[in-house]
A and B are shown apart, each in its own frame.
Chain A
Amino acid sequence: AQTVTQSQPEMSVQEAETVTLSCTYDTSESDYYLFWYKQPPSRQMILVIRQEAYKQQNATENRFSVNFQKAAKSFSLKISDSQLGDAAMYFCAYRRRGGSEKLVFGKGTKLTVNP
């Protein structure tokens, strides 16, 4: 079974600084997707960024970028120029290609942004 591990229960960053959230996963599949979702307090889960395993190029979305290391099964999220609105729980998730495409989530990292 696939598993996703987020080893940092909590992280904090100063406004305008950069922070990196870690994620490792375990799978025997070769074709899959990885995601970072953001869940603000009492608010909706929002997709931050998506990475296809077959793509060597790391995905970027504005201030958000990933470092995808397929051999190491590592998928970290870098947030640049952190803003107060970035404060949330961040979940790393895995999905194999095909089948139900259900998501397997890590336990999350709570990010605090200090002014």
Chain B
Amino acid sequence: DTGVSQDPRHKITKRGQNVTFRCDPISEHNRLYWYRQTLGQGPEFLTYFQNEAQLEKSRLLSDRFSAERPKGSFSTLEIQRTEQGDSAMYLCASSTSGGSQHFGDGTRLSIL
């Protein structure tokens, strides 16, 4: 069990640029989640995959956000035309069905 891995740990970008984050879940976990955490708040759900299928998206996930999980393995979260309000920690978690979620270290996004 190597844990959930996220890359990069930090991303600094200029407003208007596109960014992509990667999450590698625990290998036997079929469920993968993305959350966003802003300063002083708890994580908020963004989207969820079961295997390769994206089954739920939060209203927080505007059309500038897209997530994929090809072949049900790693997942990517892309933000297009970044805005100041996108600055946050983006957390990935994985689990088996009914199991507890295990989190990665997160990707901290800073928009200049």
A contacts with B, residue count (CB < 8 A): 22
A103 pairs with B98, CB closer than 8 A: no
A100–B46 alpha-carbon span in the complex (Å)? 12
A108 pairs with B100, CB closer than 8 A: no
Q: Which of B63-112 contact A (CB under 8 A)?
A: 91, 93, 95, 97-98, 100-106
**Could you list which residues of chain A lie within 8 angstroms of chain B, going by C-beta atoms?**
4, 35, 37, 43-47, 50, 91, 93, 97, 99-108
A100 pairs with B55, CB closer than 8 A: yes
User: Top 4 closest A-B pairs, CB basis?
Assistant: A105-B42, A45-B103, A102-B45, A100-B56
B44 pairs with A105, CB closer than 8 A: yes
B100 pairs with A104, CB closer than 8 A: no
A101–B35 alpha-carbon span in the complex (Å)? 13
**Could you list which residues of chain B lie within 8 angstroms of chain A, going by C-beta atoms?**
3, 31, 33, 35, 40-45, 48, 55-56, 91, 93, 95, 97-98, 100-106
CB distance from B64 to the nearest CB of A (A): 21
Which residue on chain B has the smallest CB distance to residue A50? Answer: B100
A104 pairs with B105, CB closer than 8 A: no
- Chain A residues positioned under 8 Å from B42 (CB to CB): 4, 91, 93, 105-108
